[in-house]
């Protein structure tokens, strides 16, 4: 089975400060990795995903994440936060080579960007 750990339940930052949201996963098989964002009263929106290839993945809204297999991590980063980035962020994994994309999510990290 797979599991995802997001150690930080809440990350407060000031506008224009750098952001890092941490994600660690556990799996006995190879996985794909994802970050989703959830704005209040909205559905989940895909930020970025790692399937294969370059371990540095760039996504929407200036976010990027780096896959580190040895540390089983997939931390999300943004050089400069914007007020509009305030939202809940979920890291997720799914097994490689299964019939469909069954996502296992972490518990989420609330990013609070203040002026």
Partner 1 sequence: GAGVSQSPRYKVAKRGQDVALRCDPISGHVSLFWYQQALGQGPEFLTYFQNEAQLDKSGLPSDRFFAERPEGSVSTLKIQRTQQEDSAVYLCASSLESLVGRAGNTIYFGEGSWLTVV
According to CB under 8 A, which one of 4, 21, 33, 113 is a site residue for partner 1? 4
Q: Is residue 70 near partner 1 by the rule CB under 8 A?
A: no
CB 66 within 8 A of CB 57: yes
The H helix count followed by the E strand count for the chain is 0, 12
- Return the number of the residue (43 or 115) whose C-beta is nearest partner 1: 43
Bridge-based pairing state of the strands 64-68 and 56-58: antiparallel
- Does position 81 interact with partner 1 (CB under 8 A)? The reply is no
By CB under 8 A, name the one of 76, 106, 111, 113 that touches partner 1.
106
Site for partner 1 in 11-40 (CB under 8 A): 32, 36
Determine the Cα–Cα distance for residues 54 and 12; give it in Å rounded to an integer: 30
């Amino acid at each position: 089975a797979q599991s995802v750990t997001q150690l930080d339940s809440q990350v407060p930052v000031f506008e224009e400060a750098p952001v890092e949201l941490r994600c660690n996963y556990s799996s006995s098989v190879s996985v794909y990795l994802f970050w989703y964002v959830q704005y209040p009263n909205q559905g989940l929106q895909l930020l970025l995903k790692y399937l294969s290839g370059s371990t540095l993945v760039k996504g929407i809204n200036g976010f990027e994440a780096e896959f580190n297999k040895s540390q089983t991590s997939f931390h999300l980063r943004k050089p400069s936060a914007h007020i509009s980035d305030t939202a809940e962020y979920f890291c997720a994994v799914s097994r490689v080579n299964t019939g469909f994309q069954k996502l296992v999510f972490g518990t989420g990290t609330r990013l609070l960007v203040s002026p």
